[in-house]
Chain A
Amino acid sequence: MTQVSSSVDHVRGELETINPRSAQLFTQSAGALEAIMSPGELVSWAGICLEIAGSGWHAFESANAYMALSMPMATKQGVSALADCGLYGFRLCGFSFEPSATYFRGIQHLLDEDMLDERQQHLEAAGKTLRESFTHASNLVTDYYRVAFTVANHNSEPETKRWCKLVEEVSILERADVISFLNASEAAAGVNWSFVQTLNLVSIAAGIDFLDRYPRLVTLFEVDVLAQLEQTVLTFAGDPATLSDWLDKLEVATAELSPAEKRTVIEVSHGLPLAVLATSLLEVVDRLPLTRPQIIHHWSRQVHDYLPDRIDVACGYLGLESLTSIKALEHLLGQVNFADCKRILQLYTEAIVGRRLSVEPIDKVLPDFRALPSTDGLSIHLPASIAVYPDRRHNFDLYKISLLHQLGYYEFGTFDFAGPDGSPTTAAFRYHFSKYRYPELAAGLFQLLEDARVDWAIARRYRGAESLLARFKQDALENLPPALDSIAGNALLALTYLSLDAGVPPGFPLDCVAALRREITRLDSAHSDVHVTMEVVRACYDIIMTAASAASLDDPESIASADAEAETGKAPIESPMPEPIEFRGRLEPDRVRINMHLAQIEEPEVEFSDTEPDGVSMTSMVDPRDIKIEQLKKGEVQEALGMMITDLDGRGIDEALADKADDNAETFKGLIKSSANDRHELSFQYDEWDTVILDYRRLWCTLYEIRDIDEKPEFVEDTLRELRSVSSSVRKQLSHLRPELLRKIKGMEDGEELDLERAIESRIDQRAGLSPSERIYIQRQRKDRDVSALFLLDMSASTDDRITLPQDETTVAPVSHDHDDFLHDYYGSELVVDDRKRIIELEKEAVVLMADALEDLGDNYAVCGFSGYGRDKVDFYVCKDFTEPYNTRAKGRIGGIKPCRSTRMGPAIRHATRRLNATESRVKALIIISDGYPQDFDYGKDRNSKDYGIKDTTMALTEARQQGVQAFCLTVDPSGHDYLREMCPDQQYMVIQDINQLPDELSKVYRSLTA
């Protein structure tokens, strides 16, 4: 036995005691290595093996890994490299066996893949640095080697080197951060490490965050988009928190977008300097026309007008919060909004059909819901906006044609169909279709054929609309599918082609096209009406059924399925209807007939009023809410109820009719009534000024004009009786006001001018010997006062507080009731026995005294109050309108004013201004009486900030002034100076110290405003 073999045997023996498997491995490896190693090298190698195996608990696992890689490594890299590797691994054993085992396995893997090069040195160097930073972190070091070899496996040598550099950089961080980094690195092994290195220079946290998300991002974005995203991340990395927020939202917001749309989002974000801006953009991603990137780019570029200083404004712009932004986008899109052209469409409707059909927007648009035009007999519903085409005119034309088509149903007698004898009046269509074996197919055919007939009739009667129709028909054709997979479906599709004045495409899988064409052509005639359509429905239905049964003879399976479907009443088709054509919309003829029928039962009194604030609110429409059901005849109730119930639960008519007895009239009334809101509420929408984004928020507030107020008529009389002396002083004050308008009165005995005509006549009479008239002068008399005044009372809950007189020592801190008015409602009136007046009472008294005096003066005035809760519910109470006499009802309503909720002043002032403008008076005065600064729970994002409300109110007052309304604010809030100074010029507000002076001051204010 040589010395060598004895050394090797010794090691084997030692290993045997440690782990038999190791000894076995050692024997094999040593046998192999013998051939390429010198005896000395072999002894040295054996020594290393033993050292490793003996270095601690389970260290044999490391030794095993080393021995496993020994032969290939010695062969490929040389013996000395193997020895170095072994020594490096041995040093790792100082922690535990795991780091070294992981290390050896990693080396082995690289060897197997022929990737063992400088990467090894980089890994070892970085590993060394890490070990020096974390001297007792075995798991961390193990993780490092595991991740390091994963990274090395996925990356080139230079990339690996970059990663290793990164490791050296992060090794100064906390242990948890290093672990995060390592974990993220492992998942993001294929990332661009050079980018991460750069990112780390800006923010290590951002780098880790990015790595963490990388696996998800890589599935979301295409490679080139990802590269742009990386650049964007780099831009935003200065603020890792907002970057993280943006990336969170980005992942969610873009999940459902198409690759092109994602690209647009990233491109736009790339141009932004801050993550917070890009986040605002993401919040409205569903409202942006991402399929039209040029528009988005153009629109988003304008945000740079606000950068770098006005970040909030820029956020408001990108978040489509500001009016400027919305308008800019709409302008670029060529979007037409229903609200902007409602009146034109309304007038157009009335002109075409000659009856008051209201035109309303379809505003509750759910995702995946197509906002298709439709009518219900009382109104026509159109999409809230159209931006299908790039230019506004084209989009408006789509509105026009959609509307004309709906009107065509009325004009060309679609709803004249009476049905066969015995049809229920209000369900003639459904009854008629129920006679078919497949009612759905018959109904589908009817909609399609009637649409075709109406379009042809329109084209014949309105030659100007003909070309428009042709254009939209052409567009509709482009969206039709080539073919469906059922005979009935294809027949309907073929009819759709024919109805759009196009031929059926060549090779269309249907044999009966010629027969269908022959039938549908009958509708393109001046003599066709809805009854002809019904005949054509019958004929087409029969053609389809014949074709279907011929096909099913060839295919036994389809017979079985057709029979099964016949039992369920469904048409033997899988996709029954081609999608409705956009401009034709949906047709529900029975619904229209019900409403038309109900409207005929009692036509309400129609009045055309010039004082309608909007000119378009359809107060004189036949509104279902106006229909009183008391006079329904029994039979009618039965029919209508049947229809109603069928609508509600989807059961058959016959069943429903049979079930319902006459005593259900009450139920029916209930149904109608419950669907009707308070008939006196008109709603208006107003923009609101946002001082943060420095722009208006469009149509932000909804204001309801309410006239139904609990009346308390005795209040006015009581007040006048109680305050007789004040009343007379107010009257005296106002009596000093003089009419200011001059009017020429002819035929006066004296005056400033000579009435030439009369003077000559008189002279002639004198000559002719007749007695001349002496009334030959013109006088200028002050006859008119052209004044309209609106008193706007703050009805917020705080006006329920008792007044505090300056001499009162027991000042009670004012409580804001805005937040807990339910408590207030409950306890309010009985809390304390206190004979001091409430602020609201004083406000009311002051107005009562003014109203009394103004009646004498003859000025036009209105008394209104405002309150509300939130931007969607601003209440504007009209106690006495301009045109309304000051009668018991008006007095009752003034008396009935009571404190409610918040003080959102802006919309109330805007509405008051609108009402004043409608009077067209020369002098328009708005007098606001309040008890505190404007506030509401959502008046600005920061609830504690008064600034938003004050600024909005300031803006509303400025708007009023610009429109020629003189506004004046009176407040009883002692701190009023602070904000009123900001809201109005000095001469236009007054803080009343002694609230009892309110009536007196009010009359003075009125004098100064209107004199």
Chain B
Amino acid sequence: MSNIEVKKNSGYGLDDAPYYLPVADEVEIFLAAYEQRLPVLQKGPTGCGKTRFVESMAYRLYRGDKTTRDRSRVDNPLQTVACHEDLSATDLVGRFLLQGDETVWQDGPLTRAVKEGAICYLDEIVEARKDSTVLIHSLTDHRRILPIEKQGTILDAHDNFLLVISYNPGYQNVLKDLKPSTRQRFVAIDFDYPALPQEAEVIAHESGVDLDAAMELARLAQKVRQLKHHGFDEGVSTRLLIYAGQLIASGVAPIRACDVAICRAVSDDHDVQRAIEELVTTIFPGG
């Protein structure tokens, strides 16, 4: 079912520069890969900034300092698809729809990106059905083509088209791992949670909380991540820290903000929650 309807100027059009703080050389690598139109695979835990990174890159390439005239004309430079277990090839490529007595073809997001020369970002690709992962094979090697089976046609990808996929090696099980035949078509960039000062900077920027509190939040996250083997695989994401920061910025007491945004969110195990609460009261005064 095609459910991805992109509206112009809705935020997907990348009108403003997204904030992204580089932690290593990922920006240079991505730009170089784009230059050569090499598909990119982003690996990393949830909430560490993968999506934000690809948005930031899309902005630079289509709206910012690296843009070209033809790229600036693309309405939706970033076609993002959040993959799920029922996502089929049809959902990506497109399908015939019934309109009165007629059938009408509707492009899927991948087809749109291929045609327009946008970046197609398939988030959590391993969640998708096998037929959809195989579909991207021909787009990610020298052929750069997309066969549209139902129409009986083959699309050549636009010069500006780039496929970016992401996955999280942490919690996917063996059955849902990427097949080597898929994996080995991408330049892989590893992501992880930023180091303490950078993470604090990100939290402060995104949530509006002062840098001291952001630093404490980042320190808390560092500690909580050391517990990731106990019932929660991912540790606490930067995204959750930003939520906590936003609550603090809007006047919620830090301990309470961490309680709702972090302790309760990362685990249902009572002891783990309690241990994190104790960490929170160790780090934040006023407990």
Which A residues are in CB contact (< 8 Å) with B286?
A: 464
Q: Is the Cβ of A400 less than 8 Å from the Cβ of B150?
A: no
Which B residues are in CB contact (< 8 Å) with A467?
A: 285, 287
CA distance A348 to B281 in the complex (A): 12
Q: Is the Cβ of B223 less than 8 Å from the Cβ of A351?
A: yes
Question: B279 in the interface, Cβ–Cβ < 8 Å?
Answer: yes
Closest to B269 in A: A615
Q: Is the Cβ of B103 less than 8 Å from the Cβ of A462?
A: no
Closest to A401 in B: B282
Question: A1001 in the interface, Cβ–Cβ < 8 Å?
Answer: no
Question: A671 in the interface, Cβ–Cβ < 8 Å?
Answer: no
Interface size of B by CB at 8 A reads: 33
* Segment touching B, from A93-101, A126-134, A657-665, A760-768: A760-768
Interchain nearest-CB distance for A458 vs B (Å): 9
Q: Is the Cβ of B275 less than 8 Å from the Cβ of A761?
A: no
Which A residues are in CB contact (< 8 Å) with B227?
A: 347, 350-351
Of B1, B96, B224, B278, which one neighbours A400 at CB under 8 angstroms? B278
Question: A721 in the interface, Cβ–Cβ < 8 Å?
Answer: no
Please give 6 more A-B residue pairs, beta carbons under 8 A apart, in addition to A345-B275, A400-B282, A615-B271. Answer: A344-B275, A347-B271, A351-B275, A461-B219, A464-B283, A464-B284
Of B150, B226, B278, which one neighbours A768 at CB under 8 angstroms? B150
B82-112 at interface with A (beta carbon < 8 Å): 86, 90, 95-98, 103
Question: A404 in the interface, Cβ–Cβ < 8 Å?
Answer: yes
A residues apposed to B, CB below 8 Å: 343-345, 347-348, 350-354, 400, 404, 461-467, 608, 615, 757, 761, 763-765, 767-768, 770
Q: Is the Cβ of A768 less than 8 Å from the Cβ of B216?
A: no
Question: B229 in the interface, Cβ–Cβ < 8 Å?
Answer: yes
CA distance A427 to B224 in the complex (A): 34
Question: B230 in the interface, Cβ–Cβ < 8 Å?
Answer: yes
Q: Is the Cβ of A764 less than 8 Å from the Cβ of B103?
A: yes
Interface pairs (11), CB distance under 8 Å: A344-B275, A345-B275, A347-B271, A348-B278, A464-B283, A465-B282, A764-B97, A767-B98, A768-B96, A768-B150, A770-B150
Which A residues are in CB contact (< 8 Å) with B229?
A: 608
Interchain nearest-CB distance for B153 vs A (Å): 13
Question: B272 in the interface, Cβ–Cβ < 8 Å?
Answer: yes
Closest to B152 in A: A770
Question: B274 in the interface, Cβ–Cβ < 8 Å?
Answer: yes
Which B residues are in CB contact (< 8 Å) with A404?
A: 282
Bitwise, B253-287 to A at CB < 8 A (1) or not (0) is 00100000000000000011011101111111111
Which B residues are in CB contact (< 8 Å) with A343?
A: 271, 275
B residues apposed to A, CB below 8 Å: 1, 86, 90, 95-98, 103, 150, 216, 219, 223-224, 226-227, 229-230, 255, 271-272, 274-276, 278-287
Closest to A354 in B: B226
Tell me whether A464 and B275 are in contact in the complex, defined as CB-CB below 8 angstroms, given that A608-B229, A761-B95, A768-B150 are known contacts: no
CA distance A404 to B283 in the complex (A): 12
Interchain nearest-CB distance for B213 vs A (Å): 10
Q: Is the Cβ of A464 less than 8 Å from the Cβ of B97?
A: no
CA distance A400 to B86 in the complex (A): 48
Q: Is the Cβ of A351 less than 8 Å from the Cβ of B224?
A: yes
Which B residues are in CB contact (< 8 Å) with A763?
A: 98
Which A residues are in CB contact (< 8 Å) with B86?
A: 757
Which A residues are in CB contact (< 8 Å) with B279?
A: 348, 351-352
Interchain nearest-CB distance for A713 vs B (Å): 31
Interchain nearest-CB distance for A392 vs B (Å): 13
CA distance A415 to B83 in the complex (A): 49
Q: Is the Cβ of A463 less than 8 Å from the Cβ of B284?
A: yes
CA distance A634 to B286 in the complex (A): 53
Q: Is the Cβ of A466 less than 8 Å from the Cβ of B285?
A: yes
Interchain nearest-CB distance for A620 vs B (Å): 9
Which B residues are in CB contact (< 8 Å) with A345?
A: 275
Closest to A766 in B: B103
Across the A-B interface, give the 9 residue pairs with the lowest CB-CB distance, nearest first.
Answer: A347-B275, A354-B226, A351-B223, A343-B271, A463-B285, A608-B229, A768-B103, A465-B282, A462-B282
Q: Is the Cβ of B95 less than 8 Å from the Cβ of A344?
A: no
CA distance A525 to B263 in the complex (A): 32
Which B residues are in CB contact (< 8 Å) with A465?
A: 282-283
Interchain nearest-CB distance for B231 vs A (Å): 8
Which B residues are in CB contact (< 8 Å) with A768?
A: 96, 103, 150
CA distance A767 to B275 in the complex (A): 60
Closest to B216 in A: A463
Interchain nearest-CB distance for A534 vs B (Å): 28
Interchain nearest-CB distance for B259 vs A (Å): 13
Which A residues are in CB contact (< 8 Å) with B281?
A: 464
Interchain nearest-CB distance for B211 vs A (Å): 14
Instruction: Find the residue from A345, A348, A461, A763 having the highest chain B CB count within 10 A.
Output: A348
Q: Is the Cβ of B283 less than 8 Å from the Cβ of A462?
A: yes
Interchain nearest-CB distance for B55 vs A (Å): 30
Closest to A462 in B: B282
Instruction: Find the residue from A344, A347, A765, A767 having the highest chain B CB count within 10 A.
Output: A347
Of B96, B274, B282, which one neighbours A764 at CB under 8 angstroms? B96
CA distance A324 to B284 in the complex (A): 37
Tell me whether A463 and B283 are in contact in the complex, defined as CB-CB below 8 angstroms, given that A351-B223, A352-B223, A608-B229 are known contacts: yes
Which A residues are in CB contact (< 8 Å) with B223?
A: 351-352
CA distance A466 to B281 in the complex (A): 10
Q: Is the Cβ of B98 less than 8 Å from the Cβ of A764?
A: yes
CA distance A768 to B151 in the complex (A): 10
Interchain nearest-CB distance for A5 vs B (Å): 108
Q: Is the Cβ of A767 less than 8 Å from the Cβ of B103?
A: yes
Q: Is the Cβ of A344 less than 8 Å from the Cβ of B274?
A: yes
Which A residues are in CB contact (< 8 Å) with B150?
A: 765, 768, 770
CA distance A885 to B20 in the complex (A): 49
Of B90, B230, B272, B283, which one neighbours A761 at CB under 8 angstroms? B90
CA distance A615 to B279 in the complex (A): 20
Interchain nearest-CB distance for A825 vs B (Å): 44
CA distance A353 to B223 in the complex (A): 8
CA distance A466 to B219 in the complex (A): 16
CA distance A461 to B280 in the complex (A): 13
Q: Is the Cβ of B98 less than 8 Å from the Cβ of A464?
A: no
Interchain nearest-CB distance for B237 vs A (Å): 16
Interchain nearest-CB distance for A357 vs B (Å): 11
CA distance A348 to B98 in the complex (A): 59
Q: Is the Cβ of B103 less than 8 Å from the Cβ of A348?
A: no
CA distance A765 to B90 in the complex (A): 12
Interchain nearest-CB distance for A772 vs B (Å): 12
Which A residues are in CB contact (< 8 Å) with B255?
A: 464
Interchain nearest-CB distance for A760 vs B (Å): 8
CA distance A404 to B281 in the complex (A): 12
Q: Is the Cβ of B287 less than 8 Å from the Cβ of A464?
A: yes
CA distance A764 to B278 in the complex (A): 58
Which A residues are in CB contact (< 8 Å) with B98?
A: 763-764, 767
Which B residues are in CB contact (< 8 Å) with A351?
A: 223-224, 226-227, 275-276, 279
Interchain nearest-CB distance for A556 vs B (Å): 54
CA distance A767 to B90 in the complex (A): 17
Q: Is the Cβ of A348 less than 8 Å from the Cβ of B275?
A: yes
Of B224, B271, B276, B282, which one neighbours A464 at CB under 8 angstroms? B282
Instruction: Find the residue from A400, A464, A615 having the highest chain B CB count within 10 A.
Output: A464
Which A residues are in CB contact (< 8 Å) with B287?
A: 464, 467
CA distance A923 to B280 in the complex (A): 39
CA distance A764 to B285 in the complex (A): 63
Which A residues are in CB contact (< 8 Å) with B271?
A: 343-344, 347, 615
Tell me whether A350 and B283 are in contact in the complex, defined as CB-CB below 8 angstroms, given that A463-B216, A768-B150 are known contacts: no
Q: Is the Cβ of A347 less than 8 Å from the Cβ of B96?
A: no
CA distance A873 to B283 in the complex (A): 43
Which A residues are in CB contact (< 8 Å) with B272?
A: 347
Which B residues are in CB contact (< 8 Å) with A463?
A: 216, 283-285
CA distance A770 to B152 in the complex (A): 10
CA distance A343 to B150 in the complex (A): 57
CA distance A163 to B31 in the complex (A): 112
Q: Is the Cβ of B284 less than 8 Å from the Cβ of A764?
A: no
Q: Is the Cβ of A347 less than 8 Å from the Cβ of B230?
A: yes
Which B residues are in CB contact (< 8 Å) with A765?
A: 96, 150
